[in-house]
A and B are shown apart, each in its own frame.
Chain A
Amino acid sequence: MGIEEKVPDGILTTTLDSVINWGRANSTWPLLFGLACCAMEMIATGTARHDIARYGSELFRASPRQADLMIVSGRVSNKMAPVIKRIYDQMLAPKWVIAMGICASAGGPFNNYAIIQGVDKIIPVDVYVPGCPPRPESLLYAMDMLRAKQGRETIGAGRKVEEPLAVEEIMPLGV
């Protein structure tokens, strides 16, 4: 992504790294969308009992251009896959993905022709949350894991961007 990879490592970039990572970890705005029953638990994460706002993540943005985190909450059907991929591509880097629930992680009970067996076939996933559906506590724990991962990132030379597969490589065209 541009200049970031060409900057050499050093004291300046290390200090800057920690500041940037702190900012990103404390202000991860999720994308406002839900796919299936897991979305209900995602909504419950924002309510008074669980309160995702404590971590500064209650601002669910509807436009992918303004969101940092994609919570894939539910099964991804073949028909929905191009949409998910497109929304992911519209988000601005840096962006993260949580596969919420067993369906988004690995297909779950829906081992059939209509459901993509894990959303990691079309977009890179940072954290997988098991459960059917996972409780809000699980999602909050996943956000914790994501924060730990965000804290280890560097803007320096070590950064590598994964290139995910295109939708056409998973399923034949014309589906």
Chain B
Amino acid sequence: MDWLQLLVFPAIRALILIFVLLTGFAYLTWYERKLLARFQVRYGPNRAGKFGLLQPAADAVKAFFKEEIIPNHVDKPVYLLAPALALVPALIIWAVIPIAKGTPAIADVGIGFLWILAVAGIESYGIILAGWSSNNNYSLLGALRSSAQMVSYELPLGLFLVSILILAGSFSLVELVEGFRPWWEWIWLWLAFPFFFICILAETNRSPFDLPETENELVAGFQTEYGGMKFALFFIAEYVNMISTSAIMATLFFGGWKGPFADQYIWLGPIYLLIKVVILLFLFIWVRASIGRPRYDQLMKFCWQFMLPLSLVYVSVSAVLAVFLK
């Protein structure tokens, strides 16, 4: 029954994971709209179902039954491919994240760190191709901004990941979570967390770094020409990305599935991970409600003149610490 182990079980797990992530996306939109409303002393959606809990369903029904059009001036194959290319990396990045003791979501590939970096690199393609194929000035400008922003912030992000890797001494995320970390390592990691979080905000195009889709300059940026379900795919990609990156941050900085009694009762692991992810998502939305958007040159300057030197210093000090203290 080798093929059962190799193909069928992972496929079932992948289907369950996609179902959970898409449901999570739906309720993340509700969570964000409610939280933003509370931050602004409003009520937020409360007419569709109790507490507006059916609001995501209403949005989905509307998006499904919206007219589908392909403008005449677009590059058709690429225009249709781009939303899928945006969504797929956001989903497959989950494959290596450990969800319980000794259990990765799909497979422990042994090079979890490289997997994350590689998939994060693909993520920008969906946006760039969407902007390019739309054949529209606003789309193209949004896509160029997004590619420059993502490439720039991938550098400090990668360097922070390398530091964690040096300290952990293993490429596998499963081993990273289960391995022992001395107290000074935790403190050293948490020092880097705010900067890592800033890089993640820029990577996921979330406010205050949502410059690829600023409505006051670029209409809707790279997704200007997309409507109906194709636009919904970009929407799903952005929000699933938020969930995925929150799970990665929870795994790297806050012990992933770990918590009281998670070693004895294996089913507690996903619950602890969920709690940590929800708290980190709250952080995303809190930042969105509180901070204005910087200018584009300020964004790039901040990356190249502050984040990159800082992450280089962080890598060097991490290497010294790993050599002398571990």
Contact = CB atoms under 8 A, between A and B. Distances in A.
B65 interface: yes
A152 interface: no
Contact of A93 (B57, B67, B223, B224): B67
Chain A interface size band reads 20 to 34
* B-side interface mostly: loop
B60 A56 contact: no
A32 B54 CA distance: 24
B323 to A, nearest CB: 52
Given A19-B61, A56-B45, A66 B55 contact: no
Chain B interface size band reads 35 or more
A62 B213 CA distance: 10
Interface in A1-40: 1, 19-20, 22-28, 32
Interface stretch (B35-43, B76-84, B106-114, B277-285): B35-43
Contact of A56 (B59, B225, B227): B59
Given A62-B215, A66-B227, A66-B231, A56 B55 contact: yes
B61 A54 contact: no
A23 B220 contact: no
A51 B225 CA distance: 29
A65 interface: yes
B275 interface: no
B48 A62 contact: no
Contacts of B68: 92
Contacts of A23: 57-62, 65
B145 interface: no
B30 to A, nearest CB: 10
Given A56-B47, A65-B226, A92-B66, A48 B60 contact: no
Given A23-B57, A93-B67, A53 B45 contact: yes
Interface of B: 33, 37, 40-48, 52, 54-55, 57-62, 65-69, 215, 219-220, 223-228, 231
30 contacts: A20-B61, A20-B65, A22-B48, A23-B61, A24-B65, A25-B58, A27-B59, A32-B215, A47-B42, A51-B43, A53-B33, A53-B43, A53-B44, A54-B44, A54-B45, A55-B47, A63-B219, A63-B220, A63-B226, A63-B227, A65-B69, A65-B224, A65-B226, A65-B227, A66-B226, A66-B231, A92-B66, A92-B69, A93-B66, A93-B67
Given A23-B59, A56-B55, 20 more contacts: A19-B61, A23-B61, A26-B55, A28-B62, A53-B33, A53-B37, A53-B43, A53-B44, A54-B44, A54-B47, A54-B52, A63-B226, A65-B224, A65-B225, A65-B228, A66-B223, A68-B66, A92-B66, A93-B66, A94-B67
